[in-house]
Amino acid sequence: MKTTGTLIGGRLIDDPRVYRSYALYLLKFIEAYRANGVTVNAITVQNEPQNRAPSGYPGTDMPSWQEAAVIEDLGPMLQAAHLGTEIFAYDHNWQEHPNDIASTPPDEAGDINDYPQQVLATPAARWISGVAFHCYYGDASAMTAFHNEYPKLQIFMDECSGSQSADPADTFSDTLKWHSRNLEIGSTRNWSGTVINWNLHRNRYRRPERYGHS
């Protein structure tokens, strides 16, 4: 299904059968949760699609045109299954990280800081009810800019996590201040309907751009 043959790195093989198979996998995932009493209200088709070199965890380079192809298959499947699960596009940073820009293949240059707009310019837009953002680069005002372009779409800040400061003794204070300013206040003032914080998952990593260096 992927060019690498592994869960880490690479992208989906460019084949309509692969896009349909991946969409079917996502449908079966949602149905399995439903069968066990868990309702999936919304889904994105790929976490951080422009993170092409995830460090030790599964990830996929998914250009906007591939995301659109998957959504065009998934949307009708969800509708036919009467699951009521919404599809959110993108699921990545407020602004594209310079490291991701540096690794951009030529056929994805149009996605740089324009990924959700590229997806929404395709027929897949009819199946998309919102756009999801992460906090790891840029700032929350990007969501207001997006809202001004697409005022009818929902916006969600659906991932942010703690980081370790240069001086570990400052980590709690730095995280509390940064998250209060940029997430609890910043995101909700910039049209986000949610603030989701991964409170323990990445505390061992230091991301200096998160504390005023972006």
CB-count burial class (<10 Å; 0-12, 13-18, 19+) for 9? middle
Active-site entry in 48, 67, 96, 108: 48
Element (H, E) at 81: helix 64-81
Active-site entry in 67, 96, 108, 159: 159
C-alpha 98/C-alpha 85 separation (Å) is 33
DSSP string, 106-137: GGGGGGTTTHHHHHHTSGGGGGEEEEEEESSS
**Chain position carrying tokens 């699951």:** 83
In one-letter notation, the amino acid at residue 100 is D
C-alpha 207/C-alpha 214 separation (Å) is 10
| 184 flagged as catalytic | no
Would residue 128 be called left, alpha or beta, if left means φ above 0 and alpha means ψ between -120 and 50 degrees?
beta
Cross-strand partners of 161 = 198
Displacement of CA 37 from its chain's centroid (Å) = 25
| 159 flagged as catalytic | yes
Nearest by Cα to 159 from 133, 185, 178: 133
Show which residues are catalytic: 48, 159
